[in-house]
A and B are shown apart, each in its own frame.
Chain A
Amino acid sequence: MPRITAYEPAGAGPVRRLRSPFTIRQWSVRHARFLERLYTFFADILLGLHPLWRALGYGRVERPVKSVEQVVKGFLFDCRMCGQCVLSDTGMSCPMNCPKGLRNGPCGGVRANGNCEVEPDMPCVWVEAWSGSRQMAGGDHIQNVQPPLRQSLRGTSSWLRATAERAAREEAARAGGADAP
């Protein structure tokens, strides 16, 4: 715990700095490469468990998995549970923390110090996203054009959805491969 002193960097007193919700979020962006690897590893495990999810029923595991996802991603990224996670395309900086909810890059209002137009004390999530993406193997995914958010998926687990979709894709590919002569 920092000592309470009269020292106030950038006008932020120690109490404010203690409360600052951006510290962990920024740590995640600085470790985007590591988190990218961790996620790939973890996604494979989830995929490996696909038969289990299917046996239990994706609908039934949704609640517990979602709760875990919410806690973990909430802690690391201030995740807002949009249900359509794009962290791997956005340098591990959650775009739903942008007050405008921009999912395709920064607006034109970013302040000269790199802070947000709307929240002057918050570093722009897209300035962070750009720096995070520069470390990641798939950093160029920041150029992917993201479709508009599907509001109906808000609050659902994007881990499970990504797993189900990937499993379906792989099954389709296997079926396609079997059909081929």
Chain B
Amino acid sequence: MSRIVPYDPSAPLPRKPGHTSRGRLERVLRRGEFAVTAELNPPDSADPEDVYERAAVFEGWVDGINATDGSGANCHMSSMGICALLSRIGFATVMQISCRDHNRIAIQGNVLGGAAMGVANFLCLTGDGVQAGDQPDAKPVFDLDSISLLNTLRTMRDESRFLSGRKITTPPQIFIGGAINPFAPPYDYRPLRLAKKIAAGAQFVQSQYCYDIPMLERYMDRVRDLGLHRQCYILIGVGPLASARAARWIRSNVPGVHIPDPIIERLEGATDQKREGKRICIDLIQQIREIEGIAGVHMMAYRQEELVAEIVHDSGILKGRQPWHRGMDTDPETALEEVLEEVQST
């Protein structure tokens, strides 16, 4: 039927049984494909072209684009604005919501607004403290925390009501995500924290930067013992480091990033540090892919976004699969299913 009407890239896909959203990311993950998402560096401008340009480098290489919500407590274009621009031309977006800047009234309104614009994926975050960014004198909100935020979104979707109990006439059809950081203390609590997020409604999680494979392995061992990898899709955060100096700066200034010394030494020893950074990133991805229970990677190539396509290509994680890009006349899977349905009905 959708082949009769001209294909509208921004229209949500038909919802499949067992799916909670009408987006592509959920489909890719449920199909068991190794997924790739990427973080868009939000512009400090009001020009939509800046967003489109930054998204263009990801096109055809990623299954979802994360629109950050004042990441690092710095001011940028809002996640809502970026999602509005990208979803109208068909990109699958992951709208980040941070508890730092909005109270429960604003958040619930934004979820309805985002879902109405075609955002299928929401990522629930606590948010960095205001001290980390360019506005340290701002009033931190933190009305909800990441877990009560997850629970709020699930209540809105599954019970068609706001936190107050008031009814929502058309609930948002969304895929709900959270964040994990296996690389911060208390280390032995971190897997249980994931369990708690799942209990609160997380269907997928994206992790903080991973530069320490043994630590990730220990975390995943515990996650598998608890059976959590079967209840939630786990995407591990990766990103190329531009230089040893940049790595040191990140390590001491960005909250929650753990970069072990051997990585920095490897960068220092290289003649071309930027290339080595990319090489390290590819190595990490290839090791991450081998760990049982990991569903994909989340690329955070801050200010090196142009490298994402190369890294995804060189690491071979897509195995020849091509994520959505403009001009793909329809979602390949939808097309296949329609053919199958036709065959079955004849």
Chain A residues with CB under 8 Å of chain B are 99-114, 117-118, 124, 126-127, 130-131, 142-143, 145-149
Contacts and interface: CB of A to CB of B under 8 A. Distances in A.
Contacts of A114: 185-186
A148 B142 contact: no
Contacts, number: 102
A167 B200 CA distance: 29
B185 A110 contact: yes
12 contacts: A100-B145, A101-B145, A102-B126, A104-B145, A104-B200, A105-B193, A108-B208, A109-B181, A112-B258, A130-B188, A130-B189, A148-B152
A106 B145 contact: no
B107 to A, nearest CB: 10
A130 B131 contact: no
B144 A145 contact: no
B51 interface: no
Contact of B129 (A103, A109, A146): A109
B191 to A, nearest CB: 12
B155 to A, nearest CB: 10
Given A109-B128, A110-B185, A127-B186, A104 B143 contact: no
B104 interface: yes
Chief secondary structure at chain B's binding surface = loop
A154 to B, nearest CB: 13
A143 B196 CA distance: 6
A148 B131 contact: no
A109 B200 contact: no
B173 interface: no
A149 B255 CA distance: 25
Interface size range of chain B in the complex: 35 or more
A69 B239 CA distance: 49
Given A100-B126, A147-B148, A109 B185 contact: no
A130 B145 CA distance: 17
B129 A100 contact: yes
A142 B192 CA distance: 10
B213 interface: no
A29 B136 CA distance: 31
Nearest to B163: A148
A122 to B, nearest CB: 12
A109 B130 CA distance: 12
B104 A109 contact: no
Interface in B149-192: 151-152, 163, 179-181, 184-186, 188-189, 192
B145 A145 contact: no
Contacts of A101: 142, 145
B186 A100 contact: no
A126 B181 CA distance: 14
B199 interface: yes
Given A105-B193, A149-B143, 9 more contacts: A105-B189, A108-B208, A110-B256, A111-B185, A112-B185, A124-B185, A126-B189, A127-B186, A148-B143
B147 interface: yes
B129 A117 contact: yes
A117 B100 CA distance: 14
A143 B186 contact: no
Contacts of B128: 109, 117
B81 interface: no
Given A130-B186, A145-B148, A107 B192 contact: no
B184 A145 contact: no
B200 A145 contact: yes
B203 to A, nearest CB: 16
B140 interface: yes
Contacts of B40: none
B115 interface: no
A117 B257 CA distance: 11
B146 interface: yes
Contacts of B145: 100-105, 148
A130 to B, nearest CB: 4
B43 to A, nearest CB: 25
B65 to A, nearest CB: 21
Given A108-B180, A108-B184, A148 B148 contact: yes
Given A118-B131, A131-B186, A102 B142 contact: yes
